[in-house]
Amino acid sequence: MSNRFHIQCNQSYSLIGIIFILFFFSETLSAQNPASFQITTEDGLPSNEVYSILIDTEGFLWAGTDAGICKYDGVNFITYSSPSQRTKSLSGLCASPDGRIYCYSFNGQIFYAENDSLYELKNWKKKTTNLTYDASGLLWIATWDGLYSYDQGSDKFAGPFFPENSKDPIACGISAKKDTIFSLFESGLSGISKGEFYHYPTDQPFDRLSGLYVVEQSSDLPWIISVQDELVYRPMVTHYEIVKSPELTSALKHKKVNNIRKFDDQKIWICTYDGLVIYDFVNDRAEILFEGFVLSDVLFDHEGNCWLSSLHQGLIRVPQLNTPVWNFSLNREQNDTPIKLIKNKQVLYFISTLGNFGTFDLQKSELNLFSTSLNADIQSVYFDSIDQVLYLYTNNHLHVFSNNKLEQLELVFPPVKDLIRVPQGFVLATSAGTYFYKDLLNEQQVQVLDNFWSRELAFENKSKTLFSATNQGTSYFSV
């Protein structure tokens, strides 16, 4: 059975009520962490201390961890170990052209994974600091006494290689581009190709190299970054120069560097002990993501996912790195999250699980948070675009939020599930029925439309028809 009524009166409306105390917080947000998924030991990762990650030619993710290396297929982890391992920790993952996965331990052993087993590279006794592969199929090893190469086919090592003018042969970091290997010595960056060294001088010598600099691994000429001094060296045509950018210096302030990557001709990605710094050197802009995470590596898989490894928090997968998420917390000791959103032009209104609410300006990226003194769940919310006010229902009362003030209407209402404005007044969907109010301040001007438990309302302006979803089906009314 349908229910119909006609409204012919005019509405007069003013706000009179009790003003509640609001605790107001406002902050202007720059880039916030994108949506991500954390993968830890609870998901099968052998350890949350991850040093290095790699995507192989088949798309599998490899991780070097405190508990060995493992392969991840998106669901399960397979962990590899060798009887000759003197320590479980493995790092420095790199892949040979034929699919071997190489890694090294912190006491100098080198291992490779092949045919679902882990083998030690025999006859190797040097202190290893990093590994990489060149286009010809040689494995290059950075050590404390220079560079070495390993020919997988002949199972032979060659080296050490270091510049003639080098007083200290320590090779810090290593990078391969086609058939040229780059490594940092105290006299600057050197490239070696077909046994010949090419030197790229810098503005200052790199003394005390070991553990103090990181070399990026994927460019024609790699970038160099100081671990602790916030110094970044950018490759020029004939030499290296220090990047003089207040934007980058500020982003790196008090951040110890773990790693640096470069995936295109515009940005470098810096993993630090306090988040990921993404520096756009073309436009001189720096962005910080995942602050508080001790990050060790970053890469992109074949599907465009960004992967981060952490020394404490396991792995992080970011499906859409350019999709920001704005986080808020009014009480960090409790889980307070948004549960309902309403959008009005450029402003987004939301209520939370703990009875708080806020606004977010989509153009200014300004988030305003309001902690009320209501101490109760907000059961329904409605924005009136005519009066530009927000209605909240809790504790048997409607509250109106306008100009940063929250006022309680004097009338007592049954539990309100939905509220909507119609041409001559307001309609409330409640657990006791559907009601029309010409004036929300006057209980004498109320009309009962039905006595069914109602949970949602919709108004079709062209036909002037109101629809109400009830426990007895859909009721409709001509307005």
Q: Quickly state the pLDDT bin for 333 (edges 50, 70, 90).
A: very low
Mean pLDDT of 427-447: 87
Contact 445, 437 (CB under 8 A): yes
pLDDT digits (tens, 9 = 90+) for 108-166: 899 999 988 999 998 898 889 889 988 888 899 988 888 899 999 899 999 888 877 66
Mean pLDDT of 238-263: 88
Q: Quickly state the pLDDT bin for 335 (edges 50, 70, 90).
A: low
Mean pLDDT of 364-385: 78
Fold annotation for 37-318: Methylamine Dehydrogenase; Chain H (2.130.10)
* Contacts with 412 (C-beta within 8 Å, 6 or more apart), sequence order: 396, 397
Q: What is the pLDDT of residue 324?
A: 63
Rounded-to-integer distance, Cα 453 and Cα 414, Å? 11
- Indicate where the chain has its CATH 2.130.10.10 domain(s): 37-318
Alpha-carbon distances, residue 435 vs 13, 410, 416 (angstroms): 17, 17, 10
Q: What is the pLDDT of residue 365?
A: 74
**321-338 burial: b if 16+ Cβ within 10 Å, else e:** beebeeebebeeeeebeb
For the domain spanning 1-16+410-479, the CATH number is 2.40.10
Which one has a higher pLDDT value, 168 or 308?
308
- Indicate where the chain has its CATH 2.40.10 domain(s): 1-16+410-479
Mean pLDDT of 203-220: 64
pLDDT digits (tens, 9 = 90+) for 158-205: 988 887 766 667 777 777 777 788 888 777 778 888 777 777 766 666
Beta strands, E only, 220-364? 224-226, 232-235, 240-242, 257-261, 267-272, 275-280, 285-289, 295-300, 306-310, 315-318, 338-344, 347-352, 357-361
Between strands 213-215 and 196-200, the pairing is unpaired
Q: What is the pLDDT of residue 10?
A: 32
Per-residue pLDDT for 450 more than 80?
yes
Per-residue pLDDT for 22 more than 80?
no
Averaged pLDDT of the chain: 83
Per-residue pLDDT for 211 more than 70?
no
Read off the pTM: 0.67
pLDDT digits (tens, 9 = 90+) for 317-331: 999 887 766 655 545
Rounded-to-integer distance, Cα 20 and Cα 376, Å? 13
